[in-house]
Amino acid sequence: MDLTDSPEMGTDFFRRAKVVLPAPKERITIRLDREIVDYFRGRSEEEGGGYQSWINAVLKRYVGSCLESERERLKGKSRRRSKAKLKERRI
């Protein structure tokens, strides 16, 4: 990795830096099909990280996608309501 274009970070930078820790995860018990566990264990062995972290990452991505879809759906409803209100006012 070439860092020649990166600005130098002196002691002042590190003195002002704030450590931001991730929120603690909740411990749960979950039952999964064997093939699901095997898949994620295999991925973690190939690419690093724990298999539970892989499962969490996939679920997080899925939930994020669902929430984004829901926001878009609600935006569409809001636009349709606004258009309907404009039509009512014109009549």
Element (H, E) at 76: helix 51-90
Determine the Cα–Cα distance for residues 91 and 86; give it in Å rounded to an integer: 9
27-47 pLDDT, tens digit each: 999 999 999 999 999 999 999
Q: Which helix (H) or strand (E) holds 14?
A: helix 11-16
Considering only residues 71 and 78, tell me which one the structure prediction assigns the higher pLDDT: 71
Backbone angles phi, psi at 73, to 5 degrees: -65, -45
Torsion of CA 63, 64, 67, 71, to 10 degrees: -170
DSSP letter at 52 equals: H
Single-letter amino acid, residue 70: E
Q: Report the pLDDT value the prediction gives residue 52, as an integer from 0 to 100.
A: 96
Q: Report the pLDDT averaged over residues 77-82.
A: 70
pTM for the structure as a whole? 0.61
State mean pLDDT over 54-75: 94
